């Protein structure tokens, strides 16, 4: 059984339909990427899964439970965490407080402290800036904080929306290294990216989203070599 | 919720000292009835404003509804004691046990609804409205004949020195619960609206309450409230001990709430609603909780005020009055309990107490020129309010303070 199974998902904004019945799945332990051009519906898909967006029809099954129509807070409690586009950290709160907020749904203080240590291991830079407010961090640091905050809730499945957006190339490398590390530590990842090149290099499988429908899909390696994908998303090289 | 923490020794000692000094001034007659009234009034307004600070200052929901709930609490508790002292326990039974019954039904319904996902707000509101009506109807038909005589007999057996404060206590609680039930029913559908619309809706609510209070004896079945003529004959039971005790309890409840994880949720909804959702906070619940509790405070304060002045008039709950707590909370500092308490008393003592004495008669309305001038100065010189987010050490909670200007928030990116 797949950890996450999306079937015939339709979402619309008013009269505009953004997703026309897409289906895909994510197996436990995988890194799966959803690539596609700007406006293809990638963020909409993630928002629908984490219940931030109302769906018209279709079903979303996570850990064998139909989670369509649940509250966002219920979904977080089930270990399905969304790292959104644009980071959405608490700008007025310090790094430490942001991380603590990530553990909002947890009660075991020792386990929370362990998660915090884990986050510091991954992002030593956050540890140096513990008392700095989130709003004063650089873009890369904010992205690290967003990922760190998500890890604080002990996720089983991470939905990551364009973690490389707006980052300098060196930071992009760093973020993708972190994604690989997190994945090796047993977290399943559904990664949305416009940076198809990097995304296909860390993922095992990939889906290509084209204006609300899934076009190609398959092993990431294969898609990376597919002429159509190379043409459209990898700059034709 | 975090466990009920013991207030620190300094805080209790300081509070006790303030209580005793004022009590001494009252007992020795140093403070005459005029000043006593001003101080009690200050206490009531401070409690109303603490409620607003919870709603607006800590949870970020701009509200003009406080005087509506203040009015509901005032009239509700006054109706209870008015009839009680005239030998009729029915109002008490309905307000107290009816409210408890309705709150119990709410809890049962909330538990039941948890099992169903995707129930729309409209549907939920309808369910809650129906059980509210059923609950109060049942309390009139069943509980009044059942519990009325029993309750009356019980209180008749108590010595007067115990019975009267107990009745007053229950009346205040009833007023608070009635305000809370109303705010829950109002907040459930309306809090889903954006913040600006919420402000407008609460303004509308306060206007509706005033209109209904004008017509309590015609549209509503409460003849003793006497509509626009004003309600007379409320027992004068409010003392400094009641005002102070209620204020103290409200501060401690608010402080402990804000120190708990529920308080953390309430504050993070103010900081960034979307981010709060992402870490698993139930945003709607946090908003409703803050709004209902803030309204309960206003309702209880209304009861204190009613039993001090012994006369209620709908005009006192005109929506314009709702700007009083708003001015005080901004003046004292949004998100500062200390600021609200200090400014609440200061506001009433200076503007209603001192200015009224010093302005030549006929010029009292000049206060309404002085208010906005002070406010304007304040906005120019100290926009974060007198206290900003400063708190006395006992009240301080690390995660509550708002340290960054709004301008520092990242631009609005949809999640
Ligand atoms: N809040 C919204 N209101 C209306 N239309 C929206 C909204 N969000 C996204 N859309 C539209 O839905 C489509 C998919 O958007 P989105 O999921 O953000 O794409 P992506 O993340 O792939 O860039 C786009 O055409 C976009 O304009
Ligand atoms: Mg997007």
Which pLDDT score is estimated for B377? 87
Beta bridge partners of A81: A158
pLDDT digits (tens, 9 = 90+) for A103-144: 999 999 999 999 999 999 999 999 999 999 999 999 999 999
Average of per-residue pLDDT across B290-317: 97
For residue B276, the chain A residues in CB contact (below 8 A) are 101
Express each pLDDT in A14-52 by its tens digit. 999 999 999 999 999 999 999 999 999 999 999 999 999
Question: ipTM of this model?
Answer: 0.88
Residue A191 has pLDDT above 90, yes or no: yes
Does ligand 1 lie within 6 Å of residue A41's CB atom? yes
Domains of chain A: 4-79+155-233 (3.40.50.300), 91-153 (no CATH)
Rounded distance between C-alpha atoms, residue B354 and residue B333, angstroms: 23
Q: Does A73 contact B275 at a Cβ distance shorter than 8 Å?
A: no
Q: Could you give the percent of chain B with pLDDT greater than 70?
A: 93
Residue of the CA atom closest to atom 26 of ligand 1? A39
Q: State pLDDT tens for residues B228-285.
A: 999 999 999 999 999 999 999 999 999 999 988 899 899 999 988 989 999 999 999 9
H-state helical runs in B217-322: 240-259, 261-271, 273-278, 283-309
User: CB of A61 within 8 A of CB of A4?
Assistant: yes
Give the per-residue pLDDT at B399. Answer: 56
SS3 content of chain B, % helix, strand, coil (to 5): 75, 0, 25
List Cβ neighbours of B308 (8 Å cut-off, separation of 6 or more): B37, B40, B41, B44, B236, B238, B243
Is B305 in CB contact (< 8 Å) with chain A? no
Interface contact flag, B403 A133, Cβ < 8 Å: yes
- Compute the distance between CA of residue A133 and CA of residue B263 in angstroms, rounded to an integer: 20
Burial of A37 (0-12, 13-18, 19+ CB in 10 A): middle
Indicate which atom in ligand 1 lies nearest the CA of residue A16: 5
Average pLDDT, chain A: 93
* pLDDT reported for residue B397: 73
Residue B324: closest CA among B64, B22, B6, B4: B64
CB-CB neighbors (< 8 A) of B288 in chain A: none
Q: Which two tokens stand for residue A221?
A: 């390696």
State the Cα angle at A162 between A9 and B273, rounded to 5°: 75
Report how far apart, in Å, the C-alpha atoms of B152 and of each of A197, B97, B137, B158 are.
80, 14, 21, 10
Per the structure block, which two tokens stand in for B332?
């004292």
| Gap from B278 CA to chain A (nearest CA, Å) | 7
Can you tell me whether residue A202 is helix, strand or coil? Answer: helix
Alpha-carbon separation of residue A63 from A3, A70, B282 (angstroms): 5, 14, 22
Neighbours of B71 (CB within 10 A): 27
CB contact set of A45 (below 8 Å; sequence gap of 6+) = A6, A9, A11, A19, A22, A34, A192, A209
B216 φ, ψ (degrees, to nearest 5): -60, -30
- Report d(CA A197, CA A173) in Å as an integer: 11
Select the more confidently predicted residue: B362 or A136. Answer: A136
- Chain A within 8 Å of B384 (Cβ-Cβ)? no
Measured distance CA(B276)–CA(B290) in Å, rounded:
15
> Taking the model in full, what pTM does it have?
0.91
Mapping DSSP onto H, E and C, the string for A62-112 reads ECCEECCCCCHHHHHHCCEEEECCCCCCCCCCEHHHHHHHHCCCCCCHHHH
Say which range, B30-34, B61-65, B350-354, B363-367, has the weakest mean pLDDT. B363-367
Q: Hey, is B375 helix, strand or coil?
A: helix
Do residues B392 and B340 make contact, with C-beta atoms less than 8 angstroms apart? no
**DSSP reduced 3-state for A219:** strand
Contacts of B363 (CB under 8 A, 6+ apart): none
The residue of chain A nearest to residue B415, with distances taken between CA atoms, is A84
**pLDDT per residue as tens digits for the range A63-72:** 999 999 888 9
The dihedral built from the CA positions of residue B391, B392, B394 and B395, taken in this order, carries a sign that is: negative
Using 50, 70 and 90 to split pLDDT, how confident is the model at A99? very high
Chain A: give the shortest CA distance to residue B62, in Å.
Answer: 19
- pLDDT at position B244 is 98
pLDDT at B140 over 60: yes
Cβ A62 vs Cβ A3: under 8 Å: yes
Judge contact between B219 and B209, C-beta under 8 A.
no
**pLDDT value, residue B398:** 60
Residue owning tokens 């604080």: A152
| pLDDT value for B36 | 95
């Amino acid at each position: 059984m797949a950890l996450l199974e999306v079937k015939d998902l339709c979402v619309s904004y008013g009269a505009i339909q953004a997703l026309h019945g897409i289906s895909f799945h994510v197996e436990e332990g995988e890194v799966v990427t959803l690539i596609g051009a700007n406006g293809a519906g990638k963020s909409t898909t993630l928002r629908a899964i984490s219940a931030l967006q109302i769906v018209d029809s279709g079903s979303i099954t996570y850990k064998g439970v139909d989670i369509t129509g649940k509250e966002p807070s219920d979904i977080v409690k089930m270990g399905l965490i969304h790292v959104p586009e644009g980071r959405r950290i608490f700008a007025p709160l310090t790094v430490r407080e942001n991380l603590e907020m990530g553990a909002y749904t947890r009660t075991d203080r020792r386990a929370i402290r362990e998660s915090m240590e884990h986050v510091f291991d991954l992002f030593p830079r956050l540890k140096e800036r513990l008392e700095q407010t989130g709003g004063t961090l650089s873009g890369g640091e904010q992205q690290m904080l967003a990922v760190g905050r998500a890890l604080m809730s002990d996720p089983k499945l991470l939905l990551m929306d364009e973690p490389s957006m707006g980052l300098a190339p060196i930071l992009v490398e760093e973020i993708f290294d972190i994604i690989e590390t997190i994945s090796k530590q047993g977290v399943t990842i559904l990664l949305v990216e416009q940076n198809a090149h990097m995304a296909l290099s860390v993922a095992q499988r990939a889906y290509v989203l084209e204006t609300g429908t899934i076009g190609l899909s398959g092993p990431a390696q294969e898609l990376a070599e597919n002429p159509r994908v190379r043409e459209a998303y990898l700059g034709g090289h | 919720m975090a466990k009920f923490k013991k207030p620190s020794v300094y805080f209790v000692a300081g509070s006790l000292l303030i209580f005793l000094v004022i009590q001494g001034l009252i007992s020795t007659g140093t403070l005459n009835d005029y000043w006593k009234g001003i101080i009690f009034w200050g206490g009531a307004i401070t409690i109303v404003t603490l409620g607003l600070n919870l709603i607006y200052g800590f949870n970020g929901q701009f509200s003009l509804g406080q005087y509506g709930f203040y009015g509901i609490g005032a009239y509700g508790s006054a109706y209870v004691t008015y009839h009680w002292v005239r030998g009729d326990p029915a109002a008490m039974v309905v307000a107290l046990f009816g409210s408890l019954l309705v709150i119990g039904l709410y809890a049962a319904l909330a538990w039941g609804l948890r099992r169903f996902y995707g129930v729309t707000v409209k549907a939920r509101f309808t369910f809650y409205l129906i059980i509210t009506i059923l609950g109060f109807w049942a309390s009139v038909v069943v509980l009044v004949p059942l519990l009325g005589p029993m309750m009356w007999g019980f209180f008749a057996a108590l010595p007067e020195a115990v019975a009267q404060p107990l009745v007053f206590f229950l009346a205040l609680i009833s007023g608070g619960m009635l305000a809370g039930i109303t705010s829950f029913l109002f907040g459930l559908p309306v809090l889903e609206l954006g913040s600006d619309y919420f402000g407008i809706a609460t303004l509308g609510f306060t206007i509706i309450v005033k209109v209904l209070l004008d017509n309590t004896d015609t549209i509503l079945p409460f003849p003793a409230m006497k509509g626009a003529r004003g309600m007379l004959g409320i027992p004068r039971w409010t003392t400094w001990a009641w005002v102070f005790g209620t204020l103290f309890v409200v501060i401690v409840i608010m402080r402990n709430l804000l120190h708990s994880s529920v308080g953390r949720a309430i504050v993070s909804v103010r900081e960034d609603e979307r981010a709060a959702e992402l870490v698993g906070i139930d945003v709607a619940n946090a908003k409703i909780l803050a709004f209902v509790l803030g309204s309960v405070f206003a309702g209880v304060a209304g009861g204190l005020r009613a039993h001090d002045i012994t006369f209620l008039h709908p005009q006192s709950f005109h929506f314009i009055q709702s700007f009083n707590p708003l001015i005080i909370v901004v003046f004292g500092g949004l998100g500062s309990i200390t600021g609200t308490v200090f400014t609440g008393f200061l506001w009433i003592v200076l503007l209603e107490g001192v200015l009224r004495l010093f302005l030549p008669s006929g010029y009292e309305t000049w206060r309404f020129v002085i208010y906005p001038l002070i406010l304007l100065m304040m906005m120019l010189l100290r926009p974060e309010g007198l206290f900003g987010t400063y708190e006395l050490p006992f009240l301080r909670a690390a995660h509550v303070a708002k340290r960054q200007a709004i301008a520092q928030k990242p631009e609005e990116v949809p999640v």
